[in-house]
Structure 1
């Protein structure tokens, strides 16, 4: 996705730092090992603030630091590793609202020239009904000899959803499995254009609770992490198995 992002960005105010795979879990690593990690070093240099006692907020080169990852388990893990790094070594960036998480669409549904980007499975169900109605309305306005048998969006989607593109006789449903599947223009339109993109700002409501959560989930205390997972298992959404 780094290549598409570099090509699709607005060079006047956007910079891209591609990361190769998963960065170091800084919650478990010594600071010397962390500073020796190439991905972490590149990020520190790109931000311009330095870290620890040498951290200078006013040297931050960018107003918004946006994390862009795929909407799958690996993407969530990479996002968590980055958030751990920011929380532990760049806390002021989190406290002052400089850290954001990009929200790329999961689906695109289209019928003719009408299309909509969809950001969750719940939104997809709503969009299916909307486009089913659109297909039905268009069909009812056609002359009888031009009407063809059309499959409602909701019926075809369940069978074809795993394909990169799912074509029904009525509407096209495309599932984005990763940012790398988007060409530069599409990535700009959906995820990087300030006029249309969706982002979540990272902020801390309870610093003590946040500290405990990072320690439990990213630290070396396995029993505590196991207990946390068992306690919150019922509330998990979008489990990827």
Structure 2
């Protein structure tokens, strides 16, 4: 009798080329693949990698403009007017790992690109890829397919110096193709313009340019909400701006070498600490951090010679050696500024003192809320928790999700088909309170909203958030949509940062089931329903009125790999209050008129 166990010997060991490794494990280089419907999908990372190289040229003083052109089907062209890749190294620089000038400190001191990996990843993951470099009247051009060089050409050129890259993603790697959403790119390009004063960027003909750097970013994001003219500073390695607003919480935008660090890192924590220290030094008091930072909006950009990030997609900076330098610089600048601008300093201290007063007034309300919660149950009512949480050192932490769902019937469908390791459930009881315009004490006087806050652990800071994705799972009827709007209002009003940092989502569930004895189709729109009805012979149509009508067996598909999520995004912070005031405020006649005029 022979053994059926596989043999483990030398023949099982594989050595992959860099090209093969990128194509086999694309997620290691660009994160999620996706089809372009999410702002973090791979197509936007690929575009970013090429643009980053062009930005690096500008940072080093070469080239004042960058042109980006895309089409909906996924074709991308990027042209910079920097020095151009040295003609003899054009092919190597876009195809051979660990080849590039970013290892040479004389050429690139503050690089944002992936140090010789970025453009290679774009090339390897493209169906076709073209690179052309122009230097001093000559050009070199190379054409690739699936990362493999197909042909080259060179000669004389009357074009301006610079580099042109054009690519189309590989359908083998992106089986569903991609559809580029210009609004996702526009935000990135706007950030690039704020971070690089004097650089002109064009996206499909639209021009982006900034004269005041991060001060322009802050004004664009918070608009008229600022309580005083933003404090602004810039030198060769650090740039920052901040002001206070009338909103709750704190909102920061942080960047390293031009890269937006959505999850912050050591540069952001140092910036926050420096603001606190500066105000305490100036005022000769000992304000608490939450009193100084509540309502603050700020931006910081640093240039780091050897940045270390927690992930390949560079969302969080890990360098600890830069911390004290940032604290010293920011503190010194702010203290000096406050001494020279006493009227502005008074506005800051008035805001901080007001925050302190409100916090102390809330202490009694908080204590009462906690005592009530303790009497009701040791555990948070309505919460079915999961094993792993966001921020855990476990690899499963980033996958953690909590579904906020209405009623026990929907909970029953979801509880038996969820992943108990990474998916938590919270059952709402009826419609939440409309909190727009209410003070923070309302949060502590309403048991349901208080329990949501405690379940997420965001009472004091977003840094304690227990779930990476907070998912609103409500019925697709009028009541369900109303509950969804009330929850979005709750988060935007009290915990705006949770939304702006990309943690809030809406679960899409099917409206219809079309099936016969052989096939079943779940349809999310009337159009999908009509196609399914036309496709099947003798179809049976079911209209789902609520989540509770969907059986646990069926619901498993909608919470698993085929789950459809829509991220709740904010274009500009300044729009939040205006939008909430219109939809959730007391302007009933105005809102009624709008609905009647736009009713289809």
Please indicate, yes or no, whether the TM-score normalized by the shorter chain is above 0.5.
yes
Distance 1:206 1:235, change over 3 A: farther
The equivalent of 1:25 in structure 2 is 434
Cα displacement (A) at 1:185: 1.9
Cα displacement (A) at 1:234: 4.4
Selected match of 2:543 from 175, 194, 199? 175
Mapped contact 1:9–1:192 kept (Cα < 8 A): yes
Q: Does residue 126 of structure 1 match 2:535? A: no
What is the number of equivalent residue pairs in this alignment? 191
**2:425 is paired with a residue of what secondary structure?**
coil
The equivalent of 1:85 in structure 2 is 490
The equivalent of 1:107 in structure 2 is 512
Please give the alpha-carbon distance, in whole angstroms, between the structure 2 residues aligned to 1:85 and 1:33. 11
C-alpha distance after superposition, 1:35-89 (max 9, x if no partner): 1111101100110111xxx3x1221000000000001000000000000001111
Cα displacement (A) at 1:173: 1.0
Q: Does residue 96 of structure 1 match 2:459? A: no
Higher strand share: 2
Distance 1:179 1:34, change over 3 A: same
Higher helix share: 1
Mapped contact 1:94–1:203 kept (Cα < 8 A): yes
Please give the alpha-carbon distance, in whole angstroms, between the structure 2 residues aligned to 1:20 and 1:192. 22
Cα displacement (A) at 1:33: 2.7
Mapped contact 1:109–1:117 kept (Cα < 8 A): yes
C-alpha distance after superposition, 1:177-235 (max 9, x if no partner): 1001122221121x211x11111001011332332110122123x3xx42233234344
Q: Does residue 188 of structure 1 match 2:556? A: yes
Q: Does residue 198 of structure 1 match 2:564? A: yes
**2:423 is paired with a residue of what secondary structure?**
coil
Distance 1:112 1:185, change over 3 A: same
Q: What CA RMSD, in Å, does the superposition of the two structures yield over aligned residues?
A: 1.6
Please give the alpha-carbon distance, in whole angstroms, between the structure 1 residues aligned to 2:426 and 2:526. 30
Please give the alpha-carbon distance, in whole angstroms, between the structure 1 residues aligned to 2:415 and 2:592. 37
Q: Does residue 226 of structure 1 match 2:589? A: yes
Cα displacement (A) at 1:95: 0.6
Cα displacement (A) at 1:97: 0.7
Mapped contact 2:499–2:570 kept (Cα < 8 A): yes
Correspondence 1:34-183 to 2 at 5 A = 34-50=443-459, 54=460, 56-131=461-536, 135=537, 170-183=538-551
**1:127 is paired with a residue of what secondary structure?**
helix
> Quick one: higher RCO (CA 8 Å, sep 6+), 1 or 2?
1
Please give the alpha-carbon distance, in whole angstroms, between the structure 2 residues aligned to 1:114 and 1:89. 46
Distance 1:208 1:226, change over 3 A: farther
Cα displacement (A) at 1:110: 0.7
Selected match of 1:209 from 560, 575, 596? 575
Mapped contact 2:440–2:494 kept (Cα < 8 A): no
For structure 2, the residue ranges without an aligned partner over 5 or more in a row are: 1-409
C-alpha distance after superposition, 1:82-120 (max 9, x if no partner): 000011111111111100000000001012221111001
- The TM-score with structure 1 as length reference comes to 0.74
The equivalent of 1:164 in structure 2 is none
The equivalent of 2:118 in structure 1 is none
Please give the alpha-carbon distance, in whole angstroms, between the structure 2 residues aligned to 1:130 and 1:204. 39
C-alpha distance after superposition, 1:143-170 (max 9, x if no partner): xxxxxxxxxxxxxxxxxxxxxxxxxxx1
- The TM-score with structure 2 as length reference comes to 0.31
Mapped contact 1:24–1:34 kept (Cα < 8 A): no
Please give the alpha-carbon distance, in whole angstroms, between the structure 2 residues aligned to 1:57 and 1:188. 30
Please give the alpha-carbon distance, in whole angstroms, between the structure 2 residues aligned to 1:122 and 1:229. 29
**2:513 is paired with a residue of what secondary structure?**
strand
